[in-house]
Structures are given as structure tokens and as C-alpha cells.
Amino acid sequence: NTGNNFTGKRILITAGGTREPVDPVRYIGNRSSGKMGYALAQAAKSRGAEVILISGPVSLSPPAGVEFVKVETTQEMREAVLANFNQVDIVIKAAAVADYRPLEPQEQKIKKTGEIVTLQLAKNPDILKELGTLKKHQLLIGFAAETEELIANAAEKIRLKKLDMIIANDVTLPGAGFDADTNIVKLLYPSGRVEELPQMSKTELSAVILDKIYNLMINLT
């Protein structure tokens, strides 16, 4: 149902993966291509929303007409998200956020030393969990990237982060998750309701997700 209209609504979308520097030439990252988040940004824009896309480094171009903020680390993503949070109506967090960062990123390229080296990691802030504690009128939509116990783990995230909906993907399935052009997801709600969707392109899935958000939005007002 592409007739749903988001005119006058501001939607903040995060996409891509964050990168955490180890030294000037190396980082810890993940396999997010940005395809899911960029498809959502495109879909929201074409339904009339004002879209702010906050993205880790990816090889995609941002859709025309969206406000674009490029970030690298989780801490930069957190700052950009918090700076915009009060002005938006809806947040969709499709980004794959690094949960840990090297404790002491080195200023010079690390030299080869022993056969085994150890990298100490420090915990990153959980951006979405923080939004859950700050939210007033906003709808908060998260993703859950899981490799086991899909429903149980996603249900825990919806509760912990005070979300209005979570899109759970089993990233071990072919045609789902990181870098694929399609996705296979289940939608979970705070009530415990679960909706299972068939495999579809990330563009088609974005339209379905926006339909569901529209329903949540009109139930609010």
C-alpha cells in the first residue's frame, strides 16, 4: 500500500556498519552493506517523509532528497542520532553497530610482534537502548540480527530497548541479512505478536515495514 502518506513526518534511519579503529590502517567492522537501511530511506522519502539517513561507510549513494550524515564509529553514530532525536517522529535502526571498540587505538601502525597478539576491547554505548529511555512521542523501530534463538533474542531486545516493533532476521539463512539483496524477517511487537514474512527484496520489505509503521502511527493518534 504505497498510498500511505508520511508527509510532515520526520524519519531518522541508520544504515551500514560502524567501524572501530585499531590503528591508522585497520579497523573492526562488520558485513553490513547498507542495502537494508538505504532501501528504507528511499521508501520513506518516496512516501513524503523528511528523511535523515545516518550511515556508516558503505559503497551506496544516498537516495536523492534525504538529509545525509556520514559517520564512522559507534560513538559518532550515537552523537548524530542524539542530535536529531528530539526533532523526529520515527526512528528505524537498521545499522549494524559495533558493540565493542579497541580500548586503546594506536596512533602508529601496529608492528608485527609475537605469533599471538591480544586486542583489548571496551564496550560501546547501546544507542537504541538509550533512545528507549529518552523517547517521548517517537516510534522506535529496531532490527535484530541473530544467528540462533531468533524470536527469544528479538523479544528480549524489544523489551530491553523499549521498542514499538523489531524486525528480526536470521542472518545465517541464504537470502537474508548482511549484504543480500533480499531479506527474510519476522516482525515482533511489544504484545508478543509475531508476523512472519516471506523472502522478498529489501525494497519490497521496506514498503511492508512502512505500512506496519503507518498502522502503529495512526493507532497512536
Residue ranges for the known binding site for CTP are: 99, 109, 125-128, 143, 157, 161
- Residue whose cell numbers read 530491553: 160
Cβ contacts of residue 143 below 8 Å, gap of 6+? 36, 93, 94, 166, 167, 168, 169
Instruction: Tell whether residue 42 is a contact of ligand PMT (CB under 6 A).
Output: no
Q: Which of 41, 51, 80, 94 is close enough to bind ligand PMT by CB under 6 A?
A: 94
Instruction: Tell whether residue 34 is a contact of ligand PMT (CB under 6 A).
Output: yes
Which is nearest to 94 in space by CA: 216, 20, 202? 202
Q: Which of 62, 63, 132, 142 is close enough to bind ligand PMT by CB under 6 A?
A: 142
Instruction: Tell whether residue 101 is a contact of ligand PMT (CB under 6 A).
Output: no
Q: Which of 69, 90, 145, 188 is close enough to bind ligand PMT by CB under 6 A?
A: 145
Q: Point out the residues that are catalytic.
A: 30
Which is nearest to 183 in space by CA: 37, 17, 29, 14? 37
d(CA 165, CA 207): 15
Chain residues in the site for ligand PMT (CB under 6 A) = 32-36, 74, 93-97, 99, 124, 126-128, 142-145, 157, 169, 171, 177-179
